[in-house]
Amino acid sequence: MRIPLSRFLIEQQRESKTLDPNLRLLIEVVARACKAIAIAIGKGNLGDAMGTAGTDNVQGEVQKKLDVISNEILLDANEWGGHLAAMASEEMDLPFCIPNRYPKGEYLLVFDPLDGSSNIDVNISVGTIFSVLRAPEGIDCANGDAFLQKGCTQVAAGYAVYGPNTQLVLTFGHGVHVFTLDREIGTFRLTQENLQIPEDTREFAINMSNQRHWEEPVQRYVAELLAGKEGPRGEDFNMRWVASMVADVHRILSRGGLFMYPLDAKMAKQGGKLRLLYEANPMAFLIEQAGGAATTGRERILDLQPTSLHQRVPVILGSKNEVERVTSYHKD
Ligand SMILES: O=P(O)(O)OC[C@H]1O[C@](O)(COP(=O)(O)O)[C@@H](O)[C@@H]1O
Ligand SMILES: [Mg+2]
Ligand SMILES: [Mg+2]
């Protein structure tokens, strides 16, 4: 335990022989970029990175300066490494193809450079979410079609959470591992191996202000939780909502729980709130690898066939038995 990320990755490559050296190097570069983002965030009001950038992203959301900075850090760090064919991001309308002056690689990287950025000005945890896919041969990555792969084909996924400490949570499809940034020496060190989520929980996360817009199955499920000991569940449930998916998912990976951003009438047209390729898929991969489950209420998230780069989907994930219960209410 406590070994540096680079040594952990080399050992994985040697022992399991499932980790390709280029993928290992790619993850090291992503980890370095996350470290740079952590430093930019850590300066807070002492730096020049707080507040809005004065622009909107492709989804019409106001961009924070740190959304733009984090996006640039990830692009700059990864464009010349030779491991990628293209990158796509929440903050860019179209993918970024690796320029011809740099060597091209066999992977695609897709990311939410700063998740929960509405929390940044009030000093609440935010994060970076990423997913790695294989670049399909013969498909032009410039229009985004290359990225339209089911979540179950991800070769790696993870996130960095910038909280009281910075942690990197990773999976290559063989368990979930947590690395904590040792700030003094600037290295991520392994602090938890093969994380497992308890199958049962008494904690849930949902934005209750949307209650009037929810569909019937979610109304029923949450009403049963809120009824507590006196209700059909016969137990009291606790609620938490950080409004940074990274922070909410990190709590669930650490001690169990249920996270829901379900379909609601307000956002039915756009299909949900959270983005499939760089929020739902990487988080679903991590959650399943830790023994949890992730669905839209109707289907397993990792089985969804993406239809567009910035597609949104409903998300229900976390402790297996609760995810299965909500999902079964959608089938009733
Ligand atoms: O403000 P709401 O509606 O509760 O939404 C919160 C959700 O939106 C998100 O902030 C979206 O992420 P971005 O900050 O990357 O746009 C999630 O992290 C979070 O779970
Ligand atoms: Mg996000
Ligand atoms: Mg974001």
The residue ranges of every structural domain in the chain are 5-192, 203-331
Compute how many other C-beta atoms are within 10 angstroms of the C-beta atom of residue 87: 23
Concatenated DSSP letters for 107-174? EEEEEEEEETGGGGGGT--EEEEEEEEEPPTT--GGGSGGG---GGG-SEEEEEEESSSEEEEEESSS
117 CB near ligand 1 (under 6 Å) = yes
Substitution candidate for ligand 1 out of 92, 244, 278, 283 with most atoms within 8 A of CB: 244
Of all protein residues, the one whose alpha carbon is nearest to atom 6 of ligand 1 is: 243
Ligand closest to the CA atom of residue 262: 1
The CATH code of the domain at 5-192 is: 3.30.540.10
CA end-to-end span of the chain, whole Å?
A: 46
CA 243 – ligand 2 centroid, Å:
9
DSSP string, 159-201: EEEESSSEEEEEESSS-EEEEEEETTTTEEEEEESS----S--
Burial 198-221 (b: 16+ CB within 10 A, else e): beebbbbbbeeebeeebbebbeeb
pTM of the model: 0.96
Structure tokens at 163: 């909280």
Q: Does the C-beta of 112 come closer than 6 Å to ligand 1?
A: yes
Query: Which amino acid residue places its CA nearest to atom 10 of ligand 1?
Result: 116
- Annotated binding-site residue? 127: no
Q: Which pLDDT belongs to residue 64?
A: 78
Q: Which phi and psi (to 5°) does residue 172 adopt? A: -115, 15
200 contacts 258 by C-beta, under 8 angstroms? no
Q: Is 117 annotated as a binding residue?
A: yes
Residue 116 annotated as part of some ligand binding site: yes
305 lines ligand 1 (CB under 6 A): no
Query: Which ligand 1 atom is the nearest neighbour of the CA of 241?
Result: 4
Asked whether the ipTM of the predicted complex exceeds the cut of 0.85, the reply is yes
Q: What is the pairing mode between strands 84-89 and 107-115? A: parallel
Contact 88, 144 (CB under 8 A): yes
pLDDT score for 143: 78
Helix (H, G, I), strand (E, B) or coil at 63: strand
Distance in angstroms (rounded) separating the CA atoms of residues 294 and 131: 16
Is 90 known as a binding-site position?
Answer: yes
Q: Is the CB of residue 264 below 6 angstroms from any atom belonging to ligand 1? A: no
Q: Tell me, rounded to whole angstroms, the distance of Cα 57 from its chain centroid.
A: 18
Alpha helices in the chain (DSSP H): 5-16, 21-42, 65-78, 216-226, 245-255, 281-289, 320-331
Minimum-distance ligand 1 atom for the alpha carbon of 248: 20
Residue nearest to atom 4 of ligand 1 (CA): 243
Neighbours of ion ligand 2 (CB under 5 A): 112, 115
At residue 273, the 3 state secondary structure works out as: coil
CATH topology for 203-331? Answer: D-Maltodextrin-Binding Protein; domain 2 (3.40.190)
Q: How far apart are CA 136 and CA 147, in angstroms?
A: 9
pLDDT in tens, the chain (332 residues): 699 999 999 998 888 767 899 999 999 999 999 999 999 999 888 877 777 777 777 777 777 789 999 999 999 999 998 899 999 999 999 999 998 888 889 999 999 999 998 899 899 999 999 999 999 987 778 878 999 999 999 999 999 999 999 999 999 999 999 999 999 999 999 999 999 999 999 999 999 999 999 999 999 999 999 999 999 999 999 999 999 999 999 999 999 999 999 999 999 999 999 999 999 999 999 999 999 999 999 999 999 999 999 999 999 999 999 999 999 999 97
